[in-house]
Amino acid sequence: MTRTSDAAPTSATRHGPPPSGRPPWRTAGEWWLAAVAAAFTLLQLALVRTGMGLGWDETVYVSQVSTHAPAAFFSAPRARGITLLVAPVASWSSSTALLRVYLAVLSGLGLYWALRAWRGLFPVRVLAAGGALFASLWITLFYGPQAMPNYWVAVGASATVGFFLQARADRSRRGALWGVAAGAALMAWMRPTDAVWCTLPLLALVLFVRPRRQLRLLLALVAGLAAGATEWIVEAYADYGGVGARLSAGSRIQGGLGLHNAVVDQLRSLGGRALCRPCTGAIPSAPVIAWWFVLPLLAAVALVIAVRARRTTVTLLPLVCALTAAVPYLFLIGYAAPRFLLPAYALLAIPVADALAQLVTAPAGRRRTVAVTLVAVGIAGHLAVQFAVLERAVSRTTAEHRVWVRTAADLRRLGVRPPCLVTGGDSVPVAFDAGCASAHTGGHDANTTGAALARTARTMPVVLLTTHRVHPPPYARTWQPHRVTGGYAYLAPAAVQQAERHHA
């Protein structure tokens, strides 16, 4: 297998129609990438049950455009990109199944676009294998059809780096420049801070290595970041007093950004936990976490191979971007969620696939036989573990959602009808299912006070949810407790009166 250097890609490595003259989308390579993306979509629909329901964070994002219930509190660290992405469905339908299908199809198209960004930089079989490795992670399959931003940051990061390398190799390719801008905009649209971390190496490269020759590339990258982050920045000045104030508020909500060692927390989350905060409990068994340690080793092998082949940049750049994307979630926050590292996994996938391809295509002999056997057994075991953890995560999430749905049904049985407000406990998802507003007096999403809830309780039904019977806070001392599926619901007098009228 021949390779070219970074400085002078040959015509064989450039994009363009094959010798037969057929358009690129009809080549065998394009079909391989399309097949990976289609398989990814089908696996989501088959393994991530549409009845799983909306999670807590999903409810926040979807409620911003849904007519089913009032919008939940939208905290400082969030961005509205995913809300706008789901708006074509969520703005007129409350069907979670329809939303899941829509996002599964869209995520498959996003993966295909991201893989195409790397055409000509690696063989198509490597791109297809890299896409399959990333798509088969339980984290990718679990969050692809969810209304969450992390998968889309990952897609944008991979596409941005791929198009960046294309544009850097051939400055006349305007399509690659547009791809850089689009990928950067997608990342910033979803999570502006993540976009900055992902693109730091790209910005450094164009600023400090022949900056005059890469001015258009710099403009495309900066313009994309600015376009994607515009809404977030405008909202920062409108609601928080500026970008700095919003970042400070986001830091407080996330427990105070600073030096933290969240590596072990991330390991604990690999067993299927959606959020590890606080992150306690045992680390999953060795077979569950083994891939996490193999990944950086294969990345190192990929870099060694690239250096020897004198094509260092195309492998080193995505590896460095993966590192910077992972830094804030490994060392700057005090909790973990497996989805946080999706951009890093997406950037590592293609170099790792290249390393595996080199291992299994080594010159025939005993070493090649051993390498092929180890890779085949390793991938088979890896897939078995990923699908087992995925099933566990889906089952756990589905069970949680059923509790929320039943709790909302209990509230309706007690006579609680919109307009109403739910606070405490799992108030966000329960309130959304019940068609009520939600509010919190404490914790990460505090957006009201006890006095405000007491005033609201005079004009509409207000419900306090708790997991067990407690001495309620002062504003709810006279509220009536009722047993519900998720624990106890304390109903304000207005809610009790509404219930009495409903049952009369």
Query: Tens of pLDDT along 368-390?
Result: 888 899 999 999 999 999 999 99
In a domain, 44, yes or no: yes
pLDDT at 371: 86
Give the domain-ending residue among 209, 231, 254: 254
pLDDT at 438: 97
pLDDT digits (tens, 9 = 90+) for 173-202: 889 999 999 999 999 999 999 999 999 999
pLDDT at 266: 95
Structure tokens at 52: 């799983």
The span from the CA of 10 to the CA of 417, in Å, is: 68
pLDDT at 234: 97
Give the domain-ending residue among 254, 280, 300: 254
pLDDT at 1: 40
Other C-beta atoms closer than 10 Å to the C-beta of 399 total 10
Contact 159, 131 (CB under 8 A): no
Least Cα distance to 496 among 467, 474, 464, 470 occurs for 464
DSSP state at residue 136: T
Range of the domain at 460: 400-503
The span from the CA of 132 to the CA of 141, in Å, is: 11
CA dist list (Å): 390 to 43, 78, 142, 273, 377? 11, 26, 7, 10, 20
Residue 54 — φ and ψ, nearest 5°?
-80, 135
Total number of domains in the chain: 2
pLDDT digits (tens, 9 = 90+) for 282-319: 899 999 999 999 999 999 999 999 999 999 999 999 99
In a domain, 6, yes or no: no
Give the domain-ending residue among 254, 289, 312: 254
The single-letter code of the amino acid at 500 is E
In a domain, 177, yes or no: yes
The span from the CA of 190 to the CA of 241, in Å, is: 21
In a domain, 143, yes or no: yes
Return all residues near 159 (Cβ < 8 A) that are at least 6 apart: 113, 114, 117, 179, 182, 183, 186
pLDDT at 504: 56
pLDDT at 500: 61
Return all residues near 303 (Cβ < 8 A) that are at least 6 apart: 312, 315, 316, 319, 351
In a domain, 302, yes or no: no
pLDDT at 19: 43
Ranges of the chain with pLDDT below 70: 1-28, 50, 364-365, 495-504
In a domain, 346, yes or no: no
Question: What is the reported pTM?
Answer: 0.92
pLDDT at 362: 74
In the structure, how many helices (H) and strands (E) does the chain have? Answer: 19, 5
Q: Which helix (H) or strand (E) holds 487?
A: strand 487-491
In a domain, 498, yes or no: yes
In a domain, 351, yes or no: no
Edge-to-edge order in the sheet of strand 462-466:
437-439, 421-423, 462-466, 487-491, 480-484
Contact 113, 158 (CB under 8 A): no
Look-up: residue for tokens 């199809």? 105
